[in-house]
Amino acid sequence: ETTLCTFCNLIFINGNMMAARLARSFRQVTRGLSTSVAARSELQTLTMIPGDGIGPEISSAVKEIFTAAKVPVQWEDVDVMPVFDELGRSTIPQEAKDSINKNKLALKGPLGTPIGKGHPSMNLTLRKTFNLFANVRPCRSIQGYKTPYDDVNTVIIRENTEGEYCGVEHEVVPGVVQSIKLITREASMRVANFAFEYAKNNKRSKVTSVHKANIMKMTDGLFEECTREVAKRYPDIEFEEVLLDKACLMITEDPHQFDVLVMPNLYGDILSDLSAGLIGGLGLTPSGNIGADGIAIFESVHGTAPDIAGQDKANPTALALSSVMLLRHMHLHDYADRIEQALFDTIAAGPETRTGDLGGTATCSGFTQAVCARL
């Protein structure tokens, strides 16, 4: 506990010194996620993590779509099945680390995580290994696929490295376990800066900070202190604070009340999945994890669906839309726009070109072929 407190104090002291440098790096990163820079045409190697369950099928579908669109990239497939170091700790295979460190950009299918036992989540391990501090989850209504909510267009930005997910838990005495929620000034300032830069570069008008500082006064209180501090530097962007439970109520009553939302790790995990339900589910929701060191991993956030794996029933839309985010991050906006429109047009065409989770009859390969035909 002493070591942990000392670590937090050092982070707090050094936080102000790092703010200016962090702000500069965030401007570069968030501009990459915007849609205002001319496309590049040079061939680039990207890392592909196919994942588990339906992962290989939907990863193959994205590759076919990229080929049809003649996107100037080539893929380097790696496996992130955990290996154990000399101390018995699970980690990512060295080959995968080398590929991601070299290529800087990756696309990842779903990874299975044991519940209550087994190795730690490889999703968390990837975020910690590559310092992927911000998870960006756009939630936008899909044209041609009707849900009870129209014209939803929010972006949830989730702090990705600490909070309840820092992985520090232990048994105090038999029958009593404790989990530590770690919030630092450095990480909070970093994600707050990112959120406001994202809003600025993508012409968004409001940032909402979601928290429970009324109950967790020190941890969430620190997070709120940081978002308020950053908000003062962006007078042209409206800023508001909303408690997590109230935010859940408000977003289901009327999602148009929100624009960009920023929050600690666990809250972002909950609210982003809730938001996905407003537009049709996780099968239509893209996601990107952005790091401070130039590395970014884009992913589908749905499960591995082992019950349909290998049966050509999977919906590749979420991973394909995540690849669209990846292309925009690379400034390949023309390719991104064409693929995105082909996906939307295929879904809008009717049940015969939609997969089963969207009430259609198409197979994964049939949906993919329909998208490719439109390219």
Query: What is the chain's mean pLDDT, rounded?
Result: 89
Element (H, E) at 94: helix 94-103
pLDDT tens, residue by residue, 293-332: 899 999 999 999 999 999 999 999 999 999 999 999 999 9
pTM here is 0.86
Q: What is the mean pLDDT of residues 125-138?
A: 93
Quote the percentage of the chain above a pLDDT of 90: 76
Sort residue 170 into left (φ over 0), alpha (ψ -120 to 50) or beta: beta
CA-CA-CA-CA dihedral for 123, 125, 129, 132, to nearest 10: 40
| pLDDT of 186 | 96
> What does the block give as tokens for 17?
């010194």
- The pLDDT assigned to 123 comes to 86
Q: What is the pLDDT of residue 26?
A: 53
pLDDT band at 90 (very low <50, low <70, confident <90, very high): confident
- pLDDT tens for 209-253 read 999 999 999 999 999 999 999 999 999 999 999 999 999 999 999
Confidence of residue 88 (pLDDT cuts 50, 70, 90): confident
- Taking the C-alpha atoms of residue 245 and residue 85, their distance in angstroms, rounded to an integer, is 41
Structural contact between residues 237 and 198, judged by C-beta atoms closer than 8 angstroms: no
> Per this entry, what is the length of the chain?
375
